[in-house]
Each structure stands twice: as C-alpha cells, then as structure tokens.
Structure 1
Amino acid sequence: MTRPPLLIPRPEGLYCPGGDFFIDPTRPVARALITHGHSDHARPGHGAVMATAQTLDIMAIRYGEDFTRSRQVPEGPTRIGEVTVSFHTAGHVLGSAQIAVEGQGTRIVVSGDYARVPTPTCAPFEPVPCDIFVTEATFALPVFRHPPPQAEIARLLASVTAYPDRAHLIGAYALGKAQRLIAAIRAAGWDAPIHIHGALQRLCDYHVAQGIDLGDLRPATEGRKADFAGSIVIAPPSAFAATWAQRFPDPVIAFASGWMQVRARARQRGVELPLVISDHIDWPNLTATITELDPAEVWITHGREDALLRWCELTRRQARPLHLVGYEDEAE
C-alpha cells in the first residue's frame, strides 16, 4: 500500500495526512500549526492551535483569548500521529518559527516568512538541515537587494535634522515591522520620544514585556500640532488615508517596506521618504540560504516563483511551486 506524501498542498493550506493537521491554513480547520502571528498566516477559528508561546500570545492580543478552543506550545520535538514536528526560529517577527515535519525517513522544513538580517526584536533564523525546504518568495527577484537597515535609518534621521519644523510620519505594519523600526532608530542613537498610533500600542507593550527595550514611546494623540515638529511618528499605513495624519505639522510621509525599492510603489502611496526596511528575505540571502541548506528539493510558496524556479534549474536543484493562495506580500 502506497503511503500518502508527508505534506500535500490543499485549498486550506499545507496538509499533513500522517498528523492530520494544516500548517498556516487560510480557513478554519480542526488542527493548525502556525508559524507566526501575521494575519495572513495566523487566522482565528481553528479547533486547536500549536505555535510558540509568543505567537499564541500575539494571536490572543489580536483576536481575543477565545481565538481557539485549544492551544499548545511545543516542548521540543512533538509526536503528532505518525510524524514528529519541531519549531525553529525564523528571524521574521517576535515568536516566528519554521516548522519541521519528520516522517517516512524525510524531513520537510516549512519556513513560513523568514529573514537573515539580525534584529533585537526577535530570535535569529536557525538553519535546519532538511530534505525539502519550503520557502517564501516575497522578494524572489534578483532586483531585490535590501540595503543595510542602518543606512536607511541614517537617511531618516538626516531628514529629521534637515526639516526640524516638520513631523516625520512612518508607515509600518503593527506586528514586527513597527518594533523592528523603533529598535533600529534607538540603535542609531535617537533617544527622544517616538510617538505611536494607538493601533501599535498593545503589540509594542507586549514586546517590552518580553524584554525588548523600545525606549520612550508616547501616544501620537498627546500634544498640540506644533508640539510634533521635528518628531518621529509611527503608524499603520492605513492611518495615512484618514484625517488622522492632518494633525501633524507639514508631515514628511515615509514608509518602511522592502517594496520601497520599487519607486512606482512609493509614488502610488504618496511616499516622500521611502525606507527599504524589510522583515522578509531578499534575493541574495534567499539563494544563499538554499545553498547553505542544500536540500534535495525546494518548494516555493506565496510570492514570485518563476525567477527562483529558474535559479534552481540553473543550479541543478529540484524545485516546484505550491500555488497556495491567501497570503499577502509583506502585509497584514
């Protein structure tokens, strides 16, 4: 009797028949293993959820304590049915993990979203030897070569110095990107208060509770318009489309994203100061990671598949696209 594959792409997401669970399913299922807390990977409504303690906390913050009927934190390698699963740090956001599934003499590592650039806001990526590596392809084009974050922060602080009468409003996603940005600004020597939109408050407070120093953070609603001259304000990108942004003096609109390398995207968003800061892996680090792991096969998901498929072909690596749907490109 032929055994089913270890993992199978299904409309709900990647399914493991031997353990009867899904990884990052896009619709409610009986049992879900979750790589991280971004809403395109971590959805509410599952019967049971296994994830890192920090990811479970983040899901509770975002969806309420009753986001699932049952939750479990893996304590080392865990047996589920006919397979063994283990969680390994991914370097993406706080609590993010790669999920290794072992069975039938094969190990598949589902990386979720991941990054190789160090940050104090989450644990670094752990290379895990495997037979099959499932990788994201958000920035899987040779044009995407992210500059050092320190260089982008230097551009930001130079702009703040050059325009002391203006507020600098930076769009950053609430989980991961905002905290990564704040930590980078602090590392560059900015000790003044950083003002944050209310939508960021609970997740920033959680990072601080986890021992991550974000410095003096203040609500962006405190003070008069003139008081924000020369200040840095961080908010979710959606806030800039509302009248909320009008309460700041002649704001410089900035946006922190890997997509800011594409000038057309910056223009479409009305971004005056694009900051190429990403919590996803860029092309050089993506190909270097695959070379380092040297898996027998590469599975490619949620992103640009063609260039990476071609690179794998040129480097004589087996590769296939999974065509999973429901994931966003560096978004929530």
Structure 2
Amino acid sequence: MRADQILHPTDHGLYCPPGDFHIDPIRPVPRALITHGHGDHARAGHGAVLATRETLDIMAIRYGEDFTAFRQVADGCIRIGDTQVSFHPAGHILGSAQILVQPDHGPRIVVSGDYCRRANPVCAPFQPVPCDIFVTEATFGLPVFRHPDPVDEMARLLASMAEFPDRPHLIGAYALGKAQRLIALARQAGIDAPIAIHGALQRLSDYHIGQGVDLGPLVPATADDVPSGLVIAPPSAFASPWVQRFRDPVIGFASGWMQVRARARQRGVELPLIVSDHVDWPQVTDTIRELSPEQVWITHGTEDGLMRWCELNGFAARPLRLVGYEDEPE
C-alpha cells in the first residue's frame, strides 16, 4: 500500500482511509485522533475522540464534558480498521503525543503534531519513534530561529525584576502549556513567593497541579501588590481593561516569536522572553537526522525552507499544505 493511500491531506485534515479516521481534524468528523489539547488541534464536535488521558481531560475542561459522544484513552497499541495506532510523548504540552500509524501493509508513519526537544517541567519529554515517514511541523522552519535556553530567559526575567522591584512584571503566556511551563521555570529559577495568575489560567493550572506538576503557590491577579511582583496572563488580557489595574507594569511575553523584534515592538513588549514549546531550526533538523526516515512530510509552518534543507541533505520531502493550524488561539 502506498503512503498516500494510508494518510493524505483533506479539507478536514489528515485522513487515514484504512482506519477511517482523521488526525487533528479542523472540522467535525466521525472519528478523530488528537495529538494535544491546543485549540487549533483539538476541536469539539467529533463523533468519537481517541487521545491521551490528559488531552481528553483538557478538552473536557475547555469544551465541557459533552465535547464528544464517545472518548477513548490512548493506551498501548490500538487496532483501528486495517491499522494499528499508538501514542508517544511529544514534549510540547501536558498530554501531547505523536501518533504512530502502522498499516497492515505499508510504511510506518509518525504524525508528530507539535513537538519540542528541550526539557519541559510540565510534560513528558519527546520520544523518538522509528518510522518510514515522519510528519513534522515547521513553525520555526528557518535557520534564523535558534531559541536560547529557557533557563537563561528566566535569568533575564529575574534580572528585570531586581532592576525594577517597584514595577509589577506582567508576562503574557498562552493559557494551556506555556503559562504553566513559565510558572514551573520561575520556580526552578528561585521564585518561591506566590505568583499571580489571570482567572483564565486557573482551571488549567489547577489541573496541572492535580497531575503532579509543581507550580507552587498561586494567587488571583486582582491587584498590583502581588507578593512576588510576577503576574502571568493570556495575551488577550493585555488588550482589555484588566491590564489598567496595574501601575506602571513591565510588559513581557513568552514565545518563540519574541526572537522577531518587530513582533515584540508591535505588541508593545518591553521584556521579550524567547521561550518556545516548538522545535527550532536545529531541533527539527537534528530530529530528522536522528530518525532518518525515508520521507519527510512537512506541515503548518515555513515548509519551503525545510523542504530545501531536506533536498540538500538527501531526504525525500513533500509539503502537506494543511491549513487551520497556528499558535494557540486566545
């Protein structure tokens, strides 16, 4: 069986005919396999959903318990039609997984979803999975993107807090994954006092704590006199009246896109923190070299740059041209 008969892009997302399922579909489908809980990959309305336990829990938090008629926890190797599928850690956010699709006859395909190779204190590390075809994101698929160590970025945050002790530090971070990672990194950097969080982060942060992620003491961000001077909020909060309750704040934002100075200026960011939950250029190219697949399929990102690198390094590659995937929507 040819690879494109096993998995191919459609208007709804990646579709597997032998198993009759979609992976991270952008529209409601009868059967969906979900890599992780971010809103551009995990949508409500599917007839049945197969995902990790954490992803199913997160979808229930975000969409309500009735987000699907049927849900199944991905555990071990699962038979679906003429395929077997299994879920493996992606290192992106809590519960994130790569999906290995093994047809009865044909190549092994790994759909990596969003993934990261740096240590992340809020989720399991990326697990390399041998495969014939590797489906990779290319969010930061250009050589210019080389993200610094998050520990160094936390040192920059602490230095700013020491330099401006009377100014609250308001840091924007996506509500699922990035916010909790930033809090955990701040704890590792030595911030022991309570950290204030926007109300939009409360339920997801509580869930992480319930799963054993140490976030330390958290308090509601209802005033500018928080004990640590550190406030974490979703980016959307910075365009609302909420931000006006803080006097002369230092505005920061944690994202891999903060390496692009124009983006930081457009957002009015005084303290850009380059902390990404996606692979940068060295990580994605090193991963391809490590797996050494027969083919690389590239999706949602700078596909042409990675296509050219694959061509120069002897890897057969193709773009999937999937649409509907972007940074976690707010």
One-letter amino acid of the counterpart of residue 57, structure 1? D
Q: Can you list the C-alpha shifts for 1:56-111, whole angstroms capped at 9, x where unaligned?
A: 00000000000000000122011100000000000000000000001123100000
Q: How does 1:71-220 map to 2 (within 5 A)?
A: 71-103=71-103, 104-220=105-221
Please say if residues 256 and 278 of structure 1, whose CA atoms lie closer than 8 Å, have aligned partners that are also in contact: yes
Question: Is the 8 Å Cα contact of residues 161 and 230 (structure 1) preserved in structure 2?
Answer: no
Alignment of 1:305-316 (within 5 A): 305-316=303-314
**C-alpha distance in 2 between matches for 1:229 and 1:112:** 38
Unmatched runs of 5 consecutive residues or more in structure 2: none
Q: Aligned equivalents of 2:302 and 2:155: distance in 1?
A: 30
CA contact (8 A) 1:165 1:229 kept: no
1:10-60 Cα deviation digits (max 9, x unpaired): 000000000000000000000000000000000000000000000000000
CA distance in 2, matches of 1:101, 1:310: 26
Aligned to 1:35: 35
Q: What CA deviation, in whole Å up to 9, does each residue of 1:301-322 have, x standing for no partner?
A: 0000111000000001100000
**Aligned AA (2:211):** Q
- Structure 1 segments of 4+ aligned residues over 4 angstroms from their partners: 1-4
**Shift of the alpha carbon at 1:9?**
0.6
Q: How does 1:209-248 map to 2 (within 5 A)?
A: 209-221=210-222, 223=223, 225=224, 227-228=225-226, 231-248=229-246
- Assess if the C-alpha contact under 8 Å between 2:191 and 2:228 holds in 1: no
Matched-pair contact (CA < 8 Å) for 1:166–1:230? no
Give the superposition deviation at 1:119: 1.4
Report how far residue 114 of structure 1 moved. 0.1
Q: Distance in 2 between matches of 1:287 and 1:293?
A: 10
**TM value normalised by structure 1:** 0.97
Cα distance in 2 for partners of 1:324, 1:3 equals: 17
Equivalent pairs: percent with the same residue?
Answer: 72
Q: What is the CA deviation profile of residues 149-204 of structure 1, one whole-angstrom value per residue up to 9, with x for unaligned ones?
A: 01100000100010011000000000000011000000011101100000000000
Aligned to 2:262: 264
Deviations 1:188-222, CA, capped at 9 Å, x for gaps: 1110110000000000000000001100100001x
Match of 2:13 in 1: 13
Would the aligned equivalents of 2:34 and 2:50 in 1 still touch at CA under 8 Å? yes
Aligned-residue Cα RMSD (Å) equals 1.4
- Identify which of 313, 320, 323 aligns with 2:321: 323
Distance 1:4 1:235 in 2: 42
User: How many residues align structurally?
Assistant: 329
**Whole-Å separation in 2 of the counterparts to 1:57 and 1:159:** 36
CA distance in 1, matches of 2:149, 2:165: 25
**Could you state the TM-score of these two structures normalised by the residue count of structure 2?**
0.97
